[in-house]
Structure 1
Amino acid sequence: MIDTNIVELTKETKNLIIKGHTQLFPVVRIPLGELQYNKLNGRIATWISEYLSNNDKFPEEIEKANMIIEGFMEESNPDLLKKTKTNIELFDQQESAVVLKNGIIVDGNRRFTALRQLSREGKGQKFSYIKAVLLDSDDYTEKEIKTFELNLQHAKEERVGYNPIDRLVDIYRDLITENAPFSPAEYAREVASTEKVVQQEMEVSQLMIDYLEYIGHPLMFHIVRKQKLDGPLREAHRILKSKKIEAENIEDARDVIFASIASFDGDVTRKIRDMKKVVQDSKMLNEVVTELDDTLDDIDAHFHEPDTSTVPGNNIVDVPINQKNKVIEITSKFAERKKLTSAKRAPIESLKRCLDRVNDVDSDAVVRMNSDDIDEFSEYIIRIQEQLDSLKGLTNVD
């Protein structure tokens, strides 16, 4: 707990929305040594995941844990931290943080990081303190504290910078886990969004969870961050949500897409997008699965062998080169074949659209047209008929 005897009251106050209404709180100065980062902070969720995958647990000593998390804060967004640090050095801390009386920072981790570094660099005694609102955690439930955090993170335009994967991890924790504190409707209200958007984010987050299970590393979110899979996962979500994929083909489509995500290099999002029409075509999807049958089995076996599914040291997914090349070869072949087929059918699709437009013409409106409009209308009919005659001649159809 923070030693309140060394906390200094300032003349500043800060309005906070908590428990559903705005309250005015006094701002105090707290020595940095009294504070600790929140290990559940969404901005560093994937970094915490990576650390725990390589270590049994976090150090119990607060300063050791703080130094580790400070490194995460810097790595997660070095440019923004540098900007915050420069601003505080020039103009002092302008915006107050929010801290619980147990010393955990609820809001202001980047400011805390900047002040810690300025203090260590000997920039002045004033940087050894943080200005903050001090909340008693006994006065609020965990859900109320989390709601407060969501309000803070979404209430102001400048509160951005979440890695998109860290955002999906937050969605998972807040909405999908067994004891998730929020319903989609509640969450949408707190982040000023819609329930439909939140439901969609939940589906993408669940797809992330499914992918990690597929590669044999459940809940190791840092792997998804290092692969930069926000774009590919969202593309995969759009494909798998398509009504053109029959229910009995969803699992096959998902396995092919997951194997592709793990195997592809370069612009993975575009390459997954190129597979859309392949997996939506039942016959072609079946051909892909048939040609990749043994390869998909081998990949699944590899992913579920202990300590073999990632490259040591960087946690990037490691698909054996033979299986990787096979996935790339087969999926690329069928994607190109689908593009060629689509190109061959392009004239037919154009005529279908033209017919739809012609069917939209209101015959009653034609009857009521004046003479000038009739002349123009007739001219278009003649030009269209000439073009159709020309196309008909190319097909040798009588």
Structure 2
Amino acid sequence: MAKKLYSAFVQEGTEILLPILAEYIEKNMKAYYGKEWWQEILGLFYNRQPALPISGTDEELIDSLDFARCIKIMKWRWNEVFGDSFGEQSNKCRNYVHELLDVRNAKAHIGRKDIEQQDAERALDTMYRLCFYIDESKASKIKEVYKVVRNGGNEAFVIDGPSSIDVPTNVEVADIPKEQITSLKDLVGTEAVKKTTLTKKISLGGKEQAYPIYKIRLDYLFYNDQNDRVGTWIARYCAENGEDSLLSLDREEYNKIIENFVYESNPDAIKKTQKNILRYGQREPGVTLADGRVVDGNRRFTCLRRIDRDTTDEQYFETILIDVDVEADKKEIKKLELAIQHGEEKKVDYDLIDYAIGTYKDVELTHLLSIEEYASCAEESITEVQKRIDIARIIVEFMEYLKLPGRYYIAREYQVYSVIDEMLPVLSKISEVEKQQLKTIVFNNVLLQANKDQRKFIRDIKALVNSDSYKDYFADQQIINGLIHEKFDDLEINGKADLDDFVINNAILREKLRNSIDRFLQLSKERKELLKPIENVTKSVSLMADVDESTFDKMNSEEKEELLDGISRLSNVINEYGSKLGTDPNGQAILYKPYKVAISRVDRPIIICKAVTVDIESRRITIKLMALKENEYQADTCNVRLFMLDADNKRISDSLDVDVSTEIETEQSLILTRYKEDETVYLVLQVPEDSDDEAIRIIPVELD
């Protein structure tokens, strides 16, 4: 007889859940929409096939809903109709609904293939959980189907609870000679290691295959001391108790210490997982080496150990067994560990410093894996891995700066990962010397705990760098750095307590660091406000330069008049600003110039205005000019155009083109076409080769 497909079990679960969902939907839709409840559902599936009935009895209407439509109705009307009915479990149940929609879609597209056992388990477990919150009394039927799938689809072996089936055995551990026990596999068939009917697929040595799952008594297992999750905790223990202190412990003492590390690394996650195991059993098997080393599943192993202490029932760890040598196959074990523990759903559980230092050790220090291999196993990009290594390098520098090399657990206490992460983009914008200065600045500020929000502190530095206002701040910090090291360099630092004492005894230095960033941020802000008008004018010029002059010919008279009016208003604003800019350091009026400064040419001599005289009665402006050569490449003469402007930037004279020589002084006169007494007018000097909007000099002339 052919074995029942896992997809068939999932289908069986949906058939149990469907009428429960349909009745639940009817009840809640009626409560919210009243008599229009079915019209609302019809609107959701308007023009979708197969069409729903327009009318009928309530029983006929809800019978027309299939599983997919029930799930979609709940998803689409969750906020309005269904969410509140679940109370505090609303978010959790909404996730179940979304997951079941994915299950339905996946099942609809597998064709004749079957789904994986673990996917079927997950789908049925989700159905059970959703049903439990809708109608607890009916959820048990789905759980029965779940049990069958959990036990490999073998309905003859269904037992109470979500545990796997043990292969029957009568062998006692005591019956096996000790010399024959070289690995846990030698104990298979005893009460210590029980083989189940389940399997788990993993890839080892480039080959994917299904491994049988065993239930192993907890006292035959021990933690993996190479696990990145507890690496910094172990380093701390060894620093405080001796380098080889863990090696002298027996297995249970060792396990107690590491268990405490795992728990302290994330107490909330441990409590949550422990609660789930108590309620549903261990859902995900671990990976264990034949010597008893738990490669994957430290958290589950920890939870089971904690449960074992609180109950009289013997606890077992469900795991596959890999018969490899921990030293000879270290690379393959590491690749397996990465693939399992740093999958997309799990890597967020890791402390970022533990993760970074672990990556750094594997790639940079031990060269156990290349960066490409690491990225592939952890399902990350090479860029992501490289960034983490770059952060780890700076963490290493930080610990050396604190005179505590390798004590990465202290870096975790300082929470420097996010600080360094924020610092990386800034480092890419400054010179090598400045990079070292910035790292020193950050190390000092972290050491002395000068900033409550360290990420904001880095962002403030980033703002200074982006505004090119950081050099004075760096210089100020260098002075403070000297004061810090006058006191820090001679200290003997043995641990975090010594660093804390240094902070307590140097509150003034901490305040200097804090005041420094505050002061330069304020200066930068003031400078930015000062330059705001220039920035706005520059933007305005850029916008005006982008105007397409060819559109002028396409405008009608009204549009042209409107444009000219706008230009006139703009000109008035510009002139008003010009009048408010005051005088230059020499007391001369600062003029808005409709000309930009012409770029000097290497072959052009400098034009000097030696004198300007005014004869008001004749309206004559007399100018004396001469050319000056700065080098032998410059010409002896230069043709210059002269004319006068009034305060409104309008021409008030004819223009003259004259040759100015380096040999003799040139005197020329301009006649003003109009003027006002006591007015300031402007002499403009242009070189004809330059564009019309460029001038080499603009000289104010007082008419008094």
- Is 1:68 equivalent to 2:253 in the alignment? no
8 Å contact from structure 1 (residues 278, 284) kept in 2 = no
Q: Could you say which residue in structure 2 is the equivalent of 1:146?
A: 334
Q: 1:155 aligns with which of 318, 340, 343?
A: 343
Q: CA distance change for structure 1 residues 380 and 72 in 2, over 3 Å: closer, same or farther?
A: farther
Shift of 1:286: 5.1
Shift of 1:212: 1.0
Q: Deviations over 1:182-218 (max 9, x none)?
A: 2222222222222222222211111111111111111
Give the total of aligned pairs. Answer: 386
Q: 2:372 aligns with which of 171, 181, 185?
A: 185
**Does the residue aligned with 2:349 lie in a helix, a strand or coil?**
coil
Whole-Å separation in 1 of the counterparts to 2:485 and 2:556 = 66
Whole-Å separation in 2 of the counterparts to 1:257 and 1:132 = 45
Q: CA distance change for structure 1 residues 99 and 358 in 2, over 3 Å: closer, same or farther?
A: farther
Quick check: which one's helix share is greater?
Answer: 1
- Is 1:129 equivalent to 2:316 in the alignment? yes
Shift of 1:19: 2.1
Q: Could you say which residue in structure 1 is the equivalent of 2:395?
A: 208
Q: Could you say which residue in structure 2 is the equivalent of 1:254?
A: 439
- Is 1:26 equivalent to 2:212 in the alignment? yes
Q: Deviations over 1:165-195 (max 9, x none)?
A: 1111112212221x22222222222222222
Whole-Å separation in 1 of the counterparts to 2:308 and 2:568 = 81
**Does the residue aligned with 2:342 lie in a helix, a strand or coil?**
helix
Shift of 1:158: 4.7
Q: 2:354 aligns with which of 146, 160, 166?
A: 166
8 Å contact from structure 1 (residues 249, 282) kept in 2 = no
8 Å contact from structure 1 (residues 309, 317) kept in 2 = no
Q: 1:98 aligns with which of 275, 284, 287?
A: 287
Whole-Å separation in 1 of the counterparts to 2:356 and 2:576 = 56
Q: Could you say which residue in structure 2 is the equivalent of 1:112?
A: 301
Larger RCO: Structure 1 or Structure 2 (Cα < 8 Å, ≥ 6 residues apart)?
Answer: 1
Range with greater deviation from structure 2 (109-118 or 38-47): 38-47
Shift of 1:370: 9.2
Q: Deviations over 1:224-283 (max 9, x none)?
A: 1111222211122222222xx223322222212221222224111101221234466464
Q: Could you say which residue in structure 2 is the equivalent of 1:294?
A: 482
Shift of 1:387: 5.0
Whole-Å separation in 2 of the counterparts to 1:214 and 1:171 = 21
**Does the residue aligned with 2:261 lie in a helix, a strand or coil?**
helix
RMSD (Å) for aligned C-alpha atoms: 3.0
Quick check: which one's strand share is greater?
Answer: 2
- Residue identity in the other structure for 1:394: Y
- Residue identity in the other structure for 2:427: L
Whole-Å separation in 1 of the counterparts to 2:559 and 2:204 = 67
8 Å contact from structure 1 (residues 309, 318) kept in 2 = no
Q: TM-score, normalised by structure 2?
A: 0.50
Whole-Å separation in 2 of the counterparts to 1:238 and 1:389 = 44
**Does the residue aligned with 2:374 lie in a helix, a strand or coil?**
helix
Whole-Å separation in 1 of the counterparts to 2:557 and 2:409 = 67
Q: Deviations over 1:12-53 (max 9, x none)?
A: 000112223321101111111011111121112222222222
- Residue identity in the other structure for 1:172: Y
Kindly report which structure 2 residues correspond to 1:224-303, keeping only aligned pairs within 5 A, or say none. 224-242=411-429, 245-263=430-448, 264-278=450-464, 281=469, 283-285=471-473, 287-298=475-486, 300-301=488-489
Whole-Å separation in 2 of the counterparts to 1:32 and 1:247 = 54
8 Å contact from structure 2 (residues 233, 261) kept in 1 = yes
**Does the residue aligned with 1:251 lie in a helix, a strand or coil?**
helix
Whole-Å separation in 2 of the counterparts to 1:380 and 1:24 = 78
8 Å contact from structure 2 (residues 285, 320) kept in 1 = yes
- Is 1:89 equivalent to 2:278 in the alignment? yes
- Is 1:77 equivalent to 2:266 in the alignment? yes
Shift of 1:136: 1.3
8 Å contact from structure 2 (residues 444, 481) kept in 1 = no
Q: CA distance change for structure 1 residues 296 and 61 in 2, over 3 Å: closer, same or farther?
A: same
Shift of 1:120: 0.8
Q: CA distance change for structure 1 residues 21 and 267 in 2, over 3 Å: closer, same or farther?
A: same
Q: CA distance change for structure 1 residues 79 and 289 in 2, over 3 Å: closer, same or farther?
A: closer
Q: CA distance change for structure 1 residues 250 and 124 in 2, over 3 Å: closer, same or farther?
A: same
Q: Could you say which residue in structure 1 is the equivalent of 2:241?
A: 55
- Is 1:222 equivalent to 2:412 in the alignment? no
Whole-Å separation in 1 of the counterparts to 2:272 and 2:241 = 32
Q: Could you say which residue in structure 1 is the equivalent of 2:222?
A: 36
Q: Deviations over 1:77-110 (max 9, x none)?
A: 1111111111111111111100011211110001
8 Å contact from structure 2 (residues 363, 370) kept in 1 = yes
Shift of 1:289: 4.1
Pair member with larger Rg: 2
Shift of 1:342: 2.5
- Residue identity in the other structure for 2:576: G
